[in-house]
Amino acid sequence: MKNLLLAFSLLVLVIPCKAETIIVNPNGSADFNNIQDAIFHAWHGDTVIVRPGVYEEEINFLGKAITVRGTDGAAVIDGEGDFAVSFYYGEGPDSVLKNFIIRNSYIGIFIAGSSPTMSNITVVDNRYGIKAYAGAEPDISSSIFWNNVEGDIFQCQARYSCIEEGNEGEGNIDADPLFTDANNGDYHLLSERGRYLPMYDLWVLDEVSSPCIDGGDPMVDPVEERKPNGDMLNMGAYGGTAYASLSEWQMKGDLNRDSSVNMIDFSIFAEYWLQTSLRAREIDNRMACGANLRAIGRAMQLYANDYEDHYPTPDSWCDLLMQYAGLSQDQFVCPSAEGGPSHYAINPNANYWSHPDMVLVFETTGGWNQFGGPELLAPENHQGDGCNILFNDTHVEFVETERFGELRWE
């Protein structure tokens, strides 16, 4: 019997566990709200999916053969100490880091005696980008290293990457990556064909295109990048994701990419032109709506400053802001919405000293002096995509419908 129990115990020990997918989200429901706790929990073969946000922490792979990747747009590791990311437990190629922005650390990535795989990372504004020691041989590709004070890459090489100080690896460039607004943390790549604008959840056109577009590893299929994408992977944190900047297909007019230009392509163009025209109008309306909320936010602050840090009373807030701050009737109207005379409501739980991320004023259906909570949100004003929200710190953000559950109301 003892021998049987021992044999059974050994059998249990060698049966591989099913790989898990672990979700990290700093602002909503998930398995963990920081990356390192998820890595502690993970085991070989697991995948740690990191939702967008700024993670002020240092992460260490602890020798685990796991994949840690950003999703829905790159997550930011804002290193506060010596190393933002470190590999020094003998990690091999199955320890994978991808789709991250790594910034503000002494050393962005520290590697010793390990050979991890890293792709589509943007390493910026560190003292040193990557430092490798003790025979480390990392596989680094499709990444961007820029504005790292003392240098980008030490004692290792990258390939198909943009490196400010240059690097001998295959396919590397040292041209300006043309970030959208690095000073304010937007590392999307400028694109004449289309670039994602996260504040409004929109795609916009630029006057120039980044040389990092389509510059990533040519052996990687950019299947998750939106089309048109040149059928090539982008460099940087957003490469290989649905938020990668767009580029043209090489054959002009071949919209369905069947290597010929014919009436099918013309039909596609006509449909695309119609949809683009409608989308452009929605973009204008969404931005005008956001501008209205910014004006309302300024008026709320002026009112609070003169009334002992009190906001207008919820049941007459529109009237009071018009009387006191001189807001016009038009500034209460969202151009995309129907009815009126106002398409905004105030959160009665918010006060001047509430949390900066608390909802203050938000889009709703037509009415006047409206107040309430999430039940009044009206994503139908913008084709169901979401709503513009004025937060208590006066910033305005377009929040997608699927993120409504993350909003703070109390």
Do 207 and 301 fall into the same domain? no
The answer to the question of residue 378 being in a domain is: yes
User: What's the burial of 94, exposed, middle or buried (CB within 10 Å: 0-12/13-18/19+)?
Assistant: middle
The answer to the question of residue 255 being in a domain is: no
User: What's the burial of 211, exposed, middle or buried (CB within 10 Å: 0-12/13-18/19+)?
Assistant: middle
What average pLDDT does this structure show over 157-184? 93
User: How many domains does one find in the chain?
Assistant: 2
pLDDT above 50 (res 105):
yes
Do 246 and 299 fall into the same domain? no
**45 — pLDDT class (breaks 50, 70, 90):** very high
Do 53 and 101 fall into the same domain? yes
Do 347 and 392 fall into the same domain? yes
**27 — pLDDT class (breaks 50, 70, 90):** confident
What average pLDDT does this structure show over 115-134? 97
Highest-confidence segment of 116-120, 246-250, 401-405:
116-120
pLDDT for 6 equals 42
Q: What angle separates helix 317-325 from helix 263-306, to the nearest 10 degrees?
A: 80
pLDDT above 50 (res 2):
no
Q: Which of 250, 266, 285 is the C-terminal boundary of a domain?
A: 250
pLDDT above 60 (res 5):
no
| Percent of the chain's residues with pLDDT above 70 | 90
The answer to the question of residue 8 being in a domain is: no
pLDDT for 167 equals 75
Give just the sign of the alpha carbon dihedral 167, 168, 170, 173: positive
pTM: 0.63
- What are the tens digits of pLDDT across the range 270-301? 776 666 666 677 788 888 999 999 999 999 99
- 3-state SS string for the chain: CHHHHHHHHHHHHHCCCCCCEEEECCCCCCCECCHHHHHHHCCCCCEEEECCCEECCCEECCCCCCEEEECCCCEEEECCCCEEEEECCCCCCCCEEEEEEEECCCEEEEEECCCCEEEEEEEECCCEEEEEECCCCCEEECCEEECCCCCCEECCCEECCEECCCCCCCCCECCCCCEEEHHHCEEEECCCCCEEECCCCEEECCCCCCCCCCCCCCCCCCCCCCCCECCCCCCCCCCCCCCCCCECCCCCCCCCCCCCCCHHHHHHHHHHHHHHHHHHHHHHHHHHHHHHHHHHHHHHHHHHHHCCCCCCCHHHHHHHHHHHHCCCHHHHCCCCCCCCCEEEEECCCCCCCCCCCEEEEEEEEEECCEECCHHHCCHHHHCCCEEEEEECCCCEEEEEHHHHHHCECC
Quote the domain boundaries for residue 343: 274-406
Do 120 and 46 fall into the same domain? yes
pLDDT above 70 (res 98):
yes
The answer to the question of residue 265 being in a domain is: no
pLDDT above 60 (res 9):
no
The rounded distance, in Å, linking the Cα atoms of 395 and 357 is 9
The answer to the question of residue 48 being in a domain is: yes
| Phi (first) and psi of residue 269, to 5 degrees | -60, -45
pLDDT above 50 (res 165):
yes
The answer to the question of residue 214 being in a domain is: yes
